[in-house]
Each structure stands twice: as C-alpha cells, then as structure tokens.
Amino acid sequence: MLVSEAVATRRSIRSFLDKPVPFETIERILERARMAPSGCNFQPWEATVLTGAPLKALQDRLTASQPDDPMDYDFSEPGKHEKYKARLQAVGAAMYGAMAIARDDGKQRADFVQSNLVSFGAPVLLLCHFPKWMREAQWSDTGMWLQTIMLLCREEGLDTCPQEYMGMYGRTIKDQLGLGEDVLLFCGLAIGYRDESDSVNGFVRERVPLGEQVTFLGF
C-alpha cells in the first residue's frame, strides 16, 4: 500500500468486527513505528497494549466508573471557539446522521458515547502514556508516533480509532494498569478490523480547504 493510500483510507473506526488480531502483527507494527520522528531523540511515548481477558477486565471497570474530576487534561478546549466548534458540529452531524440518531435523542447519543469505553468493540487497545513532566514538544512527538502506528495498521489491513476520551478516565486506567501518579494517560488507540456494513464507518468527513490552513510564500 502506498503511503498516500494509507492516509486516504485511514479514518476513525467506531464499529469493529469480532475478529482477533495476531500478536505478531501488533508487534511488527510497533517495532516499525519506533522510527517515528522524535525531537532530541527523547522518544517520550510509552504504551500498554491489551487484548482478551485483561482488556475485558479494564472495560468492565471503566463502565462501572465515572470520569476523573478534575481531569488531567482537557482535549475539548478548542470547541469553545466558533471556528473549531463549527468543525466539531459538522462531523457530529454527519456521524449521527449516518446512524439515523436524531439531534434530540439524548439517550441514543449518550449510549453511543459510552461505547468509547469498550473501544467500539475493537479486539486490541493500545493505551498511550508518558511522564507528566513531558512538555508540548513531546506531546507532538507522541502524536507523530501514534499517526505512524495508524498508517502502519492500514498497511496490515487493520483499522484504528484514536481515543482521547480515555484520558477522561486516566486515574482509573492507571490504577488498573499499575501505573504511578507521575504518569499521564494520554489516549487510547483501538485496533482491529472495520465493520464495512456499519454506516458509522462510512459517513463523509469534511476537511477545510488547503488555502484556509496553509500559506505558500516564494513559489
């Protein structure tokens, strides 16, 4: 698969098939992803990867828990600004529209949001974490590592869903995994095979025009 094909076909999958992913495949992807860019070669990213009984145990605990209060970090801040709020609303309308869930159907929407806690049925969950004292540059490096994993997953015929939602349950997850309080639970990454028949995996995702985000000089 060309890199451009992997980029074009990668999307956040929110309905996975009940099909296991071989350990060798996950190990191969993560081995290759070690070469992701890393400022000063710090390689700040760390992860715990779960499947089977350990994953089920975590999910059972999460569904019986409440979000952290306060949370270690807030991923929703841009939604307070009109330009970014409009982008959030557009993808939400497309996603819930694909599932035929009405805007005023609070219960169905809440139930769907809760499915984050079981990673939409994905058989593998990577939980990304690193020391809390890492700064913005290292968060950026971690994002590049995660993107590298997602593209390598596409090469293997796998799909993913990055889940910052898991950060809302950071302390519960850290306790379950035996991680210390000096660790930040950054996000989850659901990994598996997409359910092609589920409409939530096929809605059109809008992206703003290139000219709205990039300025070219000297060309």
* Alpha-carbon span 147 to 154, nearest angstrom: 11
Task: Write down the pTM of the prediction.
Answer: 0.95
Tens of pLDDT, residues 54-94: 999 999 999 999 999 999 999 999 999 999 999 999 999 99
Q: Cis (ω within 30 of 0) for the bond into 67?
A: no
Tens of pLDDT, residues 118-138: 999 999 999 999 999 999 999
* Alpha-carbon span 51 to 149, nearest angstrom: 17
Q: Where are the beta strands (DSSP E) in 21-147?
A: 46-51, 124-131
pLDDT attached to residue 35: 98
Tens of pLDDT, residues 137-193: 999 999 999 999 999 999 999 999 999 999 999 999 999 999 999 999 999 999 999
pLDDT attached to residue 148: 98
Hey, what domains does the chain have and what are their CATH numbers?
A: 3-74+117-201 (3.40.109.10)
